[in-house]
A = this chain, B = another copy of it.
Amino acid sequence: MPSSRSRIPEATVARLAVYLRVLTGLADGGRSNVSSGELASAAGVNPAGLRKDLSHLGPCGVRGVGYEVATLRDRIARVLGVERSRPCVLVGIGNLGTALADYAGFGSRGFRFVGLFDAAPDRVGRRIGGQPVRPMGELDEVVAATAATIGVIATPADVAQSVCDRLTAAGVRSILNFAPVALNAPAGVDVRQVDLSVELQVLAFLGQQRGATAAAALEAPTVEVTA
């Protein structure tokens, strides 16, 4: 078995996606070869860690030379399962949903939205990125027709759970949730949570801590001297 010689840790999978992005950029720029050091620098990680990540795919570089850009890119894409474009459905076409539907980055990275859904009648029928917004009633039909296995939730928090239920009932097996609630999904369905304000709050904490330690250093430097 060429792929998945062993279980790949999830942290590695997330970094592989980053490497794939960098490699795609390098390939588009005409580069054919790259070393682990350069790739790690562009991805913002440690070179040794990058090599360890790639070792999960089996040997894919040439010692003394480096990695072939196109080959490595294709292999990572195959392992991640984005060699072919994957159909996704998006529920909740508010500001964030519209931004997601319009985001070109998804299309160039192996994902395409095959259905945009919203419960509000005044949003249904609008066209976003060349696609119409559909009523929730068409969800089952579209998921079945397109074999979409990934659903994205960009609704308000209070309806996210019911949307999750409808998506899983329709056959979706993976859910990316932007609503700030923890979802309960049946076993066998993967849920990933993205909470934008959590990220900001972590930053606020780091910033406050930075200020606190700086203040403490100014406040009682003699203690450190005498200690």
Contacts and interface: CB of A to CB of B under 8 A. Distances in A.
A93 to B, nearest CB: 11
Interface stretch (A26-34, A46-54, A67-75, A191-199): A191-199
Contacts of A95: 98-99, 102-103
Contact of A103 (B16, B96, B176): B96
Interface residues of A, number: 64
A167 to B, nearest CB: 13
A14 B198 contact: yes
Nearest to A150: B203
Interface string A136-152: 00000000000001101
Interface string A171-183: 0011110001011
A10 interface: yes
A44 B86 CA distance: 28
A103 B201 contact: no
Top 6 closest A-B pairs, CB basis? A44-B182, A81-B208, A95-B99, A17-B201, A174-B203, A17-B198
Interface of A: 4, 8, 10, 13-14, 16-18, 20-21, 42-44, 79-82, 86, 88, 94-96, 98-100, 102-103, 105-106, 109-111, 149-150, 152, 173-176, 180, 182-183, 188, 190, 192-210, 212
Given A16-B201, A95-B99, A174-B203, 8 more contacts: A13-B206, A17-B201, A17-B202, A96-B99, A100-B196, A106-B197, A173-B207, A194-B196
